[in-house]
Amino acid sequence: MDKVNLASQPEVNSSSDYSIFEREIVCHFCNAVVYMPTLYPGEQIQCPRCDETLVRIEKYPVAIPIIYSGLAIFVFLLSLLYPLLTVTTPYIHVTRTVGLWVIFNYLAGHSPFLAFIYLFSVFVTPFIFTVATLYVFSAIHFKKHWWRVEEISEILVYLRPWVMVDIFLVGCAIALVKIGSLSTFEVGYTFITIFAYSIFLARIVLSISEYWIKEKLLNIKGETIRPIRHSLRTLRNRGWLKVNLSWALLFAAIIFYLPANLMPMMSTFGLGLHYETTLLEGIVQIWKKGDYFISSIIFVASFLIPIFKIFSLLILLLAVSYKHLLKAKTLTWIFVSIERMGRWSMIDVFVIMLMVSLFTSRVIYVRAGPASIYFCLVVIITMVATSLIDTRLFWDDFKETSRRSY
């Protein structure tokens, strides 16, 4: 029989309320039926066929999400009260102080699309994500089937990739490096609270196990998850619309990628000067200033990763629609990779958002170029296209079950 990979055994006195008893489960990556022995807090199980994690239970599966979501809400509300950065440009005697809401106001006046992206990824989505986490895990803790709790738990899974506070924070750090030679800056309290906010959000994301949450919510109603495995033909028949939509999104991403790299990403006006820079020109400028590490980060996140995502999506969709060019396990690894790294391409967009907010005086000001909008569209479209792909279509029908327990 195939081996089921388990984490190291925890102490036996873990609460059985948070355990999942032995059963057969269906891998949501490769459609294999896998025997799962009883899992206790602190354990996880991997699929013996595709090696992806099926179920993972935190050592403290309810306490950690509740505590960190509560802390995340608290520090987020604090971050709205204090400034993020204060930048002084001595040559023109201009001092600018911005907070999170000030950034949105300036973006709304100059680029409503970027303002919406900023509001969605830094304000709305993370806050809804933390409140939903607190709601769902509190229901599990009190063993109450609260209003729409199962639907809200599904929202957690869909919102995870769109929580971009950590990427915004990295963008702030890169923006400070870019303006360091021209201006002096002072970090406000909000920079510290946003850093804590990103740490708490990352910890919440790691603590969420979709299968475990669904199981515990069903247990409240006296039910349990029953394994349902569909044949490859059924999956193809049901997923044809998503596959075609993914193809359409991929072609749209390819079209938008050209102006995203050829048109100006950012424009600077002031002191009798007006110059525009494309994505690659901006990277070269940072490299020439000696900031090799920062320029390398932007080059990888804003240039290499989008190219890798587009080619990877092409390979995955060809595998789903026509012929497998690679082994199924390799295709699954590619899918997981682009799903996790795709959102990091937003770094350069957040840098531009901050630059627009910091340099808005009559003497010198910065504007987001049209390429920033196209680039945002490429990132968003490829993320949506990736989410529509069903990795089970990479694999042939698999009917054997691993029944060996540990």
DSSP code per residue over 37-95: --B-TT-EEE-TTT--EEEE--SSTTHHHHHHHHHHHHHHHHHTTS-SEEEEETTTTEE
Average pLDDT along the chain: 86
More confident residue, 88 or 132: 132
Burial class (CB in 10 A: 0-12, 13-18, 19+), 320: buried
**pLDDT for residue 136 is more than 80:** yes
Question: What pLDDT was estimated at residue 228?
Answer: 78
Most confident of 14-23, 69-78, 210-219, 326-335: 69-78
Q: What is the pLDDT of residue 401?
A: 42
Sole residue written with tokens 């106001």: 105
Residues 157-170 have pLDDT tens digits of: 899 999 999 999 99
| Whole-number Cα distances in Å, 38 to 78, 187, 205 | 42, 49, 24
Write down the pLDDT at residue 231: 77
Residue 402 pLDDT? 43
Query: Residue range 18-28: average pLDDT?
Result: 89
pLDDT of 312 reads: 94
Angle in degrees, 0-180, between the axes of helices 232-262 and 370-387, rounded to the nearest 10: 170
Which of the four pLDDT bands, split at 50, 70 and 90, describes residue 372? very high
Phi, psi (5° rounding) for residue 5?
Answer: -85, 120
pLDDT digits (tens, 9 = 90+) for 238-295: 778 889 999 999 999 999 999 999 999 988 776 667 778 888 988 888 888 888 888 8
| Mean pLDDT on 89-102 | 78
Q: 76-101: string of b/e by CB count within 10 Å (b at 16+)? A: bebbeeebbbebebeeeebebebbbe
pLDDT of 73 > 90? The answer is yes
Residue ranges covered by each domain of the chain: 5-59, 62-221, 238-394
Q: Can you give the pLDDT at residue 87?
A: 83
pLDDT exceeding 90 applies to what percent of the chain? 47
Q: How many Å apart are CA 294 and CA 51, to the nearest integer?
A: 34
pLDDT at 142 over 60: yes
CA distance 382 to 103: 26
The per-residue pLDDT for range 36-49, each reduced to its tens digit, is: 999 999 999 999 99
pLDDT digits (tens, 9 = 90+) for 295-329: 898 899 899 999 999 999 999 999 888 876 788 89
Residue 6, pLDDT > 60, answer no
State both tokens at 202.
Answer: 């990352």
Closest by Cα among 314, 316, 310 to 381: 310
Three-state SS for 13? coil
Average pLDDT over residues 116-139: 95
Compute how many other C-beta atoms are within 10 angstroms of the C-beta atom of residue 10: 14
Q: pLDDT tier at 5 (50, 70, 90 boundaries)?
A: very low
Average pLDDT over residues 363-390: 90
Which position has the higher pLDDT, 265 or 234?
Answer: 265
| pLDDT band at 70; cut points 50, 70, 90 | very high
Starting from the edge strand earliest in sequence, which strands make up the sheet with 401-402, in order? 23-26, 33-36, 401-402
Q: Return the CATH number of the domain spanning residue range 238-394.
A: 1.20.140
Which DSSP letter does residue 185 get? E
State the helix-helix crossing angle for 347-358 and 165-179, rounded to 10 degrees. 60
